């Protein structure tokens, strides 16, 4: 009876892995491809191990060169399998993977080992149930296999920080089993464990890293967002051309959990029918079809044609009876940016930038340039905060009642390294999106308090200074305590501060804002409602919010002088606000005619270029001292 039971177990083990892997679509990741190659090579190695035992067992009936050839092919497959194990490992390290000289040297070493095995003598022993080979060919096999296994282990230690923890551990476990099996077989040749050991190691690798299920989204059944990021990184590393359709659905489809899952699965199955593209489920309920076939102009055309079909389908119902509010992003050329992270940024930024009535947007080089400018501005803002290049400018506010400049609005500016000012229109949106707006707001507030104290603005006729609050600050539960601490540190009375809030649809934690407002008002701070008259403003907000002052936006003021219907609306609005006992500031007043019109309207304060543009701290102090002295 042949001693092949253990090898047969390993062979069946490998066949089962091949079966399960073949049932899933391949993402196309390099590690995934090499693992599949490893699995085929190791399976062939076990098969050749079994074949060599059979050949030796029946050597009396077979030509000598056939027995020798089968045995040597088995030894070559051993070296080849350990070579692929090393290749699988070093391919996780970018600079090794991209180093053609290194890869050529490793491949050459594998070829040299295989040639030496084929050229050197081999002998075999067969008695009872003990069958094994020995001689120079076997020694060379052990030497080269050990070199590749040792190189694999060394790579996991030298470049361990470039691998995730699970990959390091899985590869080390795999190689440890290989070494243990080889040592046992070397010391006890009748124990044919190498084939089974390799199968066990591959199973560990499959379980930890290469199970196709880890690449899938559990609900949709297509590839996941993490897989999307890995796939894009590989595309950029290989400089491959690809185009992408991104289907942007609402974060909440507003159905029961069961119905939402049904819709997601239905969408996934429909989109998966476009067989020449890979389907990924992105954040929330978004999907992406990535085309990576042939020349860029061809897959770009294909994705554009498919997009028309997909858009038409999404006009129909999904699930039981759901018509989705779906938007589409088309990226004809993925190389509008230079890496995967920038591509994902382009997607995440643009999915929220659809204009009213817009359902599709084509992203080209402009979107890529926008990301680069965004990143540069983030760096600029961080550096400005670190090097104290955030400045505060002040725009005076004129009181119609007293004829004096009784307040001012504090406005953030950044002084570039070249000495030029960066206007808020450039850095404020970036600061809001990047989360740096709170740091800027706190810095502006601190400098404003310092200015009030150091220049004794109260004695110069300035009753208070208005400071803007961002949405992020409004939603921060620590806002009131932080600002209280700053006012105490700078010895500024809260009555000398008026905080401006803007009605915003993006404010999610309104109760936090109200709590902050109440605590700051209890200290003595006042509040203004800024930008009244823009698209989102309404009188209910004035009723609900405990503000003292309402600031009419520049666009509303300008419309008052050019549009008769706007004039009627503004007069009525002023009357209602005054009846509520609130003060009104008119922003953006630019001419003497407008000043007179605003005075007749009954508005309390005027802010605009007619009196002054925003001024640096020193210029503002001079302005106030001069104007309020007369």
Whole-number average pLDDT of the chain? 87
Confidence (pLDDT) at 191: 63
* Residues in CB range of 310: below 8 A, 6 or more apart: 245, 247, 271, 274, 328
Query: Phi-psi category of 327—alpha, beta or left, where left has phi over 0 and alpha has psi -120 to 50?
Result: beta
Tokens of 456: 């004794």
Pick from 283, 273, 281: nearest CA to 220? 281
Q: Taken in order 28, 30, 31, 33, is the CA torsion positive or negative?
A: positive
pLDDT exceeds cutoff 50 at 147 = yes
> How much is the average pLDDT of 39-66?
87
pLDDT of residue 507: 55
Who has greater pLDDT, 505 or 3?
3
Q: Are 261 and 220 in contact (CB under 8 A)?
A: no
Residue 302 pLDDT > 80: no
pLDDT at 121 over 90: yes
- The token duo for 609 is 């270029």
* Angle separating helix axes 437-454 and 365-386, nearest 10 degrees: 40
What are the residue ranges of helices labelled H in 491-551? 510-523, 539-544
* Structural tokens at position 575: 């009357």
Pairing of strands 549-552, 583-587: parallel
pLDDT band at 1 (very low <50, low <70, confident <90, very high): very low
Q: pTM of the entire structure?
A: 0.70
* pLDDT (tens digit per residue) in 479-508: 999 999 999 999 999 999 999 988 764 556
* Per-residue exposure over 78-93, b if at least 16 CB sit within 10 Å of its own CB, e if not: bbbbbbbbbbbbbbbb
| Cα–Cα distance for residue pair 599/508, rounded to 1 Å | 37
What is the bridge-based pairing of β-strands 243-248 and 130-134?
Answer: unpaired
**Is the CB of residue 451 less than 8 Å from the CB of residue 491?**
no
Q: Is the pLDDT of residue 331 over 80?
A: yes
When pLDDT is averaged across residues 332-352 and rounded to a whole number, the result is 89
Q: Is the pLDDT of residue 250 over 70?
A: yes
Q: What is the pLDDT of residues 513-550, one digit of tens each?
A: 889 899 999 999 999 988 887 755 567 777 778 889 99
Question: Between 197 and 423, where is the model more confident?
Answer: 423
Q: Is the pLDDT reported for residue 88 higher than 70? A: yes
The per-residue pLDDT for range 169-212, each reduced to its tens digit, is: 888 888 888 888 778 777 776 666 777 777 787 888 777 777 77
How far apart (Å, rounded) are the C-alpha atoms in residues 560 and 565?
8
Closest CA to 447 of 478, 489, 506: 489
Cα gap 125→57, rounded to integer Å: 9
Instruction: Show the DSSP H helices in 135-256 as ranges.
Output: 136-158, 165-187, 194-205, 225-237
Question: What mean pLDDT do residues 316-333 have?
Answer: 87
Supply 281's token pair: 């489920």
Q: What is the pLDDT of residues 371-401, one digit of tens each?
A: 888 889 999 999 999 999 999 999 999 999 9
Banded pLDDT at 296 (limits 50, 70, 90): very low
Which whole number is the average pLDDT over 11-16? 85
In terms of Cα–Cα distance, which of 21, 11, 82 is closest to 49?
11
Higher pLDDT: 625 or 24? It is: 625
What is the mean pLDDT of the segment spanning 20-47?
Answer: 84
The Cα angle at residue 320 between residues 319 and 325, in degrees rounded to 5: 60
Q: How far apart are CA 292 and CA 245, in angstroms?
A: 12
How much is the pLDDT for 491?
A: 93
Structure tokens at 14: 């490998």
The residue that leads in pLDDT, 212 or 340, is: 340
Cα→Cα distances 144→86, 112, 116, 139, 432, Å: 12, 9, 10, 9, 58
pLDDT, tens only, 426-436 = 999 999 888 89
């Amino acid at each position: 009876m042949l001693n092949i039971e253990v090898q047969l177990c390993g062979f069946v083990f490998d066949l089962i892995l091949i079966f399960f892997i073949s049932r899933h679509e391949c993402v196309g990741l390099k590690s995934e491809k090499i693992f599949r190659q490893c699995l085929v090579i190791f399976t062939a190695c076990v098969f050749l191990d079994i074949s060599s035992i059979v050949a030796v067992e029946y050597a009396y009936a077979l030509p000598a060169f056939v027995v020798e050839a089968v045995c040597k092919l088995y030894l070559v497959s051993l070296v080849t399998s350990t070579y692929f194990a090393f290749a699988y490992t070093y391919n996780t390290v970018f600079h090794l993977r991209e180093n053609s000289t290194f890869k050529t040297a490793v491949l050459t070493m594998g070829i040299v080992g295989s040639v030496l095995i084929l050229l050197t003598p081999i002998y075999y022993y067969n008695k009872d149930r003990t069958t094994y080979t020995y001689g120079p060919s076997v020694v060379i096999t052990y030497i080269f296999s050990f070199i590749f296994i040792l190189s694999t282990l060394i790579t996991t230690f030298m470049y361990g920080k470039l691998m995730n923890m699970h990959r390091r551990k899985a590869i080390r476990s795999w190689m440890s089993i290989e070494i243990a099996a080889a040592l046992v077989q070397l010391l006890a040749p009748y124990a044919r464990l190498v084939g089974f050991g390799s199968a066990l190691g591959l199973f560990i690798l499959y379980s930890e890293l290469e199970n196709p299920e880890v690449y899938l989204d559990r609900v949709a059944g297509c590839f996941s967002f993490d897989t999307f990021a890995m796939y894009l990184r590989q595309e950029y590393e290989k400089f491959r051309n690809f185009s992408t359709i991104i289907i942007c659905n609402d974060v909440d489809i507003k159905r029961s959990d069961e119905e939402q899952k049904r819709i997601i699965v239905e969408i996934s199955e429909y989109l998966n029918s476009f067989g020449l593209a890979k389907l990924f489920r992105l954040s929330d309920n978004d999907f992406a079809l990535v085309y990576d076939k042939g020349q860029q102009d061809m897959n770009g055309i294909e994705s554009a044609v498919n997009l028309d079909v997909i858009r038409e389908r999404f006009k129909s119902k999904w699930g039981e009876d759901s018509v989705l509010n779906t938007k589409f992003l088309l990226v004809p050329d993925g190389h509008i940016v230079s890496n995967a992270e920038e591509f994902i940024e382009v997607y995440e930024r643009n999915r929220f930038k659809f204009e009213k009535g817009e359902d599709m947007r084509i992203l080209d080089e402009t979107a890529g340039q926008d990301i680069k400018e965004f990143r540069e501005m983030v760096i600029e803002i961080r550096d400005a905060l670190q090097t104290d290049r955030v400045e505060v400018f002040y725009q005076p506010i004129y009181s119609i009642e007293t004829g004096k400049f009784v307040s001012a609005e504090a406005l953030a500016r950044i002084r570039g390294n070249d000495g030029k000012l960066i206007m808020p229109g450039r850095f404020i949106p970036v600061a809001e999106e990047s989360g740096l707006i709170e740091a800027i707001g706190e810095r502006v507030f601190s400098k404003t308090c310092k200015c009030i104290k150091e220049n004794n603005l109260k004695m110069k006729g300035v009753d208070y200074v208005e400071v803007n609050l961002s949405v992020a600050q409004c939603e921060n539960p620590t806002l009131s305590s932080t600002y209280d601490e700053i006012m105490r540190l700078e010895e500024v009375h809260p009555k000398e501060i008026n905080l401006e809030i803007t009605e915003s649809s993006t404010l999610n934690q309104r109760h936090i804002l109200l709590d902050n407002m109440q605590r700051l008002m209890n200290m003595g701070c006042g509040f203004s409602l800024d930008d009244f008259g823009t698209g989102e403003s309404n009188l209910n907000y004035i009723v609900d919010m405990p503000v003292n002052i309402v600031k009419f936006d520049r666009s509303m003021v300008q419309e008052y002088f050019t549009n008769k219907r706007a004039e009627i609306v503004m007069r009525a609005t002023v009357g209602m606000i005054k009846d509520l006992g609130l003060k009104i500031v008119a922003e953006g007043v630019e001419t003497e005619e407008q000043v007179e019109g605003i005075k007749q309207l009954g508005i309390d304060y005027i802010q605009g270029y007619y009196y002054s543009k925003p001024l640096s701290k020193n210029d503002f102090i001079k302005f106030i001292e001069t104007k309020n002295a007369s």
